[in-house]
A and B are shown apart, each in its own frame.
Chain A
Amino acid sequence: MLKYILKRLIYLIPTLILVAALVFLLIHMIPGDPAAVILGPDATAEDVASVREALGLDRPLYEQFVVWLGNLVQGDFGVSIHSKRPVIDSIGERFPVTLCLTTLALIFALIIALPSGVLAAVHHNTNKDYLFMIGTILGVSIPGFWLGLMALLVFSVQLGWFPSTGFVAMWEEFWEGLRYMILPAITLGLFMAAVVARMVRSSMLEVLRLEYVTHARAKGLSEWKVVTKHALKNAFAPTLTTIGIQYGMLLGGAVVTETVFSLPGLGKYLVVSIYMRDYPVVQGCILFIALVYVLINMIVDLLYGYFDPRVQYS
């Protein structure tokens, strides 16, 4: 197992280098002189020259990349042009908010998706199933950020159940912090809930048709036990892969959700940095989120074997 994890990590290296290369090339897609674009039209020639030098833009491309990659490996994501602080420090302050938001959204999605998907599969082709299908198709069609705006309007502004401005971190005051997170997490997680629920339903349908399930029933096990203990565990393996892929939707969606709810997370920081043309921060945030996504999918792959022991770790 340990050998397999190591092997997977080694296979990950070329992908990570390519991911880094794409993010590196982003800044070189800026039309014209990046340094001049960053500083805006009022910059003097000396300022432009100093930013060019600070960003290493005066050196050949491959050299810039090697230096940049070397710095990354040492945890140096560059320095913000605006605040002059190391980008990684700002990421470290803001990422917990994003992690909190996406984790809560994931928990919400699973709480909705697992039981409803199983129920729909058990009651296949009944009214319950049709209702489920309507619900999930709406779930993947309603834009989460709009739902967020509507929720803010109804539950925060009109009813006053949740705060509409400000922020309290959950790790400082858990219950108070949770009040700030509930609406964002639910509206962010809804899309994922719908996608995962559909996956649970279709993999449950496949599993419920298999002989071992009939056998379990024939043994006299209650339907509850057959479904939860025998069928669900097998049906969960393909669902897990969907969860891994959909986590990307959460990380990407968090950028918009944090903007809607004014949460001080990585997504909001990214958007604000784009407006300020703080490209090192933009690069750093995008790269960091991509790394998190890659790692989560690797963990999902490793967990896969637990739910589907046919997977060989070799």
Chain B
Amino acid sequence: MFLQRFLHNPIGMIGVAVIALNIFIAAFAPVLATYNPLTIDVAHQSEAPSDQHWFGTDEFGRDIYSRVIYGSRISLYISLLSVAVATLLGVAIGASSGYYGGWLDNIVMRIMDAVMSFPAILLAIGILAVLGPNLSNVVLALGLVYTPRFARIVRGSVLSLKEKEFVEASRAIGNGDAYIIFRHILPNCTAPLIVQATASLAYAILAESMLSFLGLGAPPPAPSWGNILSDARNFMMDNAMMTVFPGLAITLAVLGFNLVGDALRDVLDPRLK
């Protein structure tokens, strides 16, 4: 029913197509790229787009088209993993906090509030400033920053569900807490979780590009869209085209998740349409 409605939503389907394209590009990067993204070529530095170099070359003569293609890998890797971390942590924290209540709930949710008191990107910047820039730290930082959003959703659902009769009935026939949480409560909050996860994926791609741009994401020479832009900034006067393509790639990737997120929201909550 839900899936069918989603499949008939044109916006959602465009989003799915964009995401699929992005995954395809990331998966087949070695086939699609025309050069090695790391190969330095001093004979072709800072060149405009041409037959050989479709998007031009950077200050080291590296092929920008190939770097943008490979950049999709870092972007997808970080967004998927960080949202996975946030979802797992958020579900665990939200479910136990809501289910057991009391002082545990109080303390845990206050900490979640405190984490949400920071602008998300700022806290991620702070964490990376101390941990140092590398891919797993970016995943960790973004994962931690997005955790409270998931925890809040799950906790809310748990609070409204745990007093319901079917949950009490399950408890009465002797089912344990873990069984009740996994079997009865969590399946009932998958819909808002999926919406939140899709939105977070879009945010995570944006955040990753900002962090890489600031030099706090994937360390060079790895090609990430953010650090290609950061290089481009220094050579903007000589090679303007270098700035254009990584930005378009980020926009397209974010757009895909946003379109799917919008469609999911419409399907799940038609009131807002």
Q: B254 and A15: CB pair below 8 A?
A: no
- B residues 78-117 with Cβ under 8 Å of A? 110-111, 113-115, 117
Q: What's the nearest-Cβ distance from chain A to residue B59, in Å?
A: 16
Residue B191 at the A interface, CB < 8 A?
A: no
Residue A248 at the B interface, CB < 8 A?
A: yes
Give the residues in chain A near B258, CB-CB below 8 Å.
137, 140-141
Q: A149 and B236: CB pair below 8 A?
A: yes
Partner of A260, one of B233, B240, B272: B233
Residue A303 at the B interface, CB < 8 A?
A: no
Q: B236 and A15: CB pair below 8 A?
A: no
Given A18-B113, A138-B255, is A153 in contact with B130 using a C-beta cutoff of 8 Å? no
Residue A152 at the B interface, CB < 8 A?
A: yes
- Cα A248 to Cα B262 in complex, Å, equals 22
Residue A161 at the B interface, CB < 8 A?
A: no
Q: A252 and B251: CB pair below 8 A?
A: no
Given A141-B254, A143-B206, is A256 in contact with B213 using a C-beta cutoff of 8 Å? yes
Residue A157 at the B interface, CB < 8 A?
A: yes
Q: A255 and B129: CB pair below 8 A?
A: no
- A residues 165-209 with Cβ under 8 Å of B? 202, 206
Residue B167 at the A interface, CB < 8 A?
A: no
Q: What's the nearest-Cβ distance from chain A to residue B137, in Å?
A: 10
Among the listed stretches B29-37, B66-74, B119-127, B172-180, which one makes contact with chain A, having 4 or more residues with CB under 8 Å of it?
Answer: B119-127
Residue B237 at the A interface, CB < 8 A?
A: yes
Q: B244 and A249: CB pair below 8 A?
A: no
Q: What's the nearest-Cβ distance from chain A to residue B224, in Å?
A: 13
Partner of A275, one of B126, B132, B215: B215
Q: A252 and B122: CB pair below 8 A?
A: yes
Give the residues in chain B near A294, CB-CB below 8 Å.
117
Given A30-B130, A137-B262, A290-B122, is A271 in contact with B214 using a C-beta cutoff of 8 Å? yes
Give the residues in chain B near A143, CB-CB below 8 Å.
206, 209-210, 247, 250-251, 254
Residue B259 at the A interface, CB < 8 A?
A: yes
Residue A253 at the B interface, CB < 8 A?
A: yes
Given A15-B113, A157-B237, A289-B119, is A137 in contact with B255 using a C-beta cutoff of 8 Å? yes
The tally of residues in B whose CB lies under 8 Å from a CB in A reads: 46
Q: B255 and A252: CB pair below 8 A?
A: no
Q: B236 and A249: CB pair below 8 A?
A: no
Q: A150 and B244: CB pair below 8 A?
A: yes
Q: A15 and B262: CB pair below 8 A?
A: no
- Cα A14 to Cα B120 in complex, Å, equals 20
Give the residues in chain B near A147, CB-CB below 8 Å.
247
Q: B255 and A286: CB pair below 8 A?
A: no
Residue B243 at the A interface, CB < 8 A?
A: yes
Give the residues in chain B near A14, CB-CB below 8 Å.
110
Residue B202 at the A interface, CB < 8 A?
A: yes
Residue A60 at the B interface, CB < 8 A?
A: no
Q: B202 and A27: CB pair below 8 A?
A: no
Centre residue among A21, A23, A140 by max chain B CB count within 10 A: A140
Partner of A253, one of B114, B121, B244, B262: B121
- Cα A30 to Cα B130 in complex, Å, equals 5
Partner of A141, one of B110, B131, B237, B255: B255
Residue A259 at the B interface, CB < 8 A?
A: yes
Residue A26 at the B interface, CB < 8 A?
A: yes
Give the residues in chain A near B209, CB-CB below 8 Å.
143, 145-146
- A residues 94-131 with Cβ under 8 Å of B? none
Give the residues in chain B near A249, CB-CB below 8 Å.
119-121
Q: A26 and B237: CB pair below 8 A?
A: no
Proximity string of chain A (150-165) to chain B, C-beta cutoff 8 Å, 1 when within and 0 when not: 1011000100000000
Residue A22 at the B interface, CB < 8 A?
A: yes
- Cα A275 to Cα B246 in complex, Å, equals 24
Residue B151 at the A interface, CB < 8 A?
A: no
Residue A251 at the B interface, CB < 8 A?
A: yes
- Cα A3 to Cα B129 in complex, Å, equals 41
Given A145-B210, A255-B214, A279-B130, is A290 in contact with B243 using a C-beta cutoff of 8 Å? no
Q: What's the nearest-Cβ distance from chain A to residue B167, in Å?
A: 31
Q: Using CB atoms, name the residue of chain B closest to A292.
A: B119
- Cα A282 to Cα B272 in complex, Å, equals 41
Q: What's the nearest-Cβ distance from chain A to residue B264, in Å?
A: 14
Give the residues in chain B near A31, CB-CB below 8 Å.
131-132
Q: B250 and A146: CB pair below 8 A?
A: yes
Residue B25 at the A interface, CB < 8 A?
A: no
Q: B126 and A23: CB pair below 8 A?
A: yes
Centre residue among A30, A206, A252 by max chain B CB count within 10 A: A252
Residue B19 at the A interface, CB < 8 A?
A: no
Q: A150 and B114: CB pair below 8 A?
A: no
Chain A positions near chain B (C-beta within 8 angstroms):
14-15, 18-19, 21-23, 26-27, 29-31, 137-138, 140-143, 145-147, 149-150, 152-153, 157, 202, 206, 248-249, 251-253, 255-256, 259-260, 270-271, 274-275, 279, 282, 286, 289-290, 293-294
Task: Add 6 more A-B contacts to A141-B202, A145-B210 (CB < 8 A).
Answer: A23-B126, A26-B126, A142-B254, A145-B229, A157-B237, A271-B125
Could you jot down 19 A-B contacts, CB within 8 Å?
Answer: A14-B110, A26-B127, A31-B132, A137-B259, A141-B254, A142-B247, A145-B229, A146-B251, A149-B236, A149-B247, A248-B119, A248-B120, A249-B119, A256-B121, A259-B214, A271-B125, A271-B214, A286-B118, A286-B125
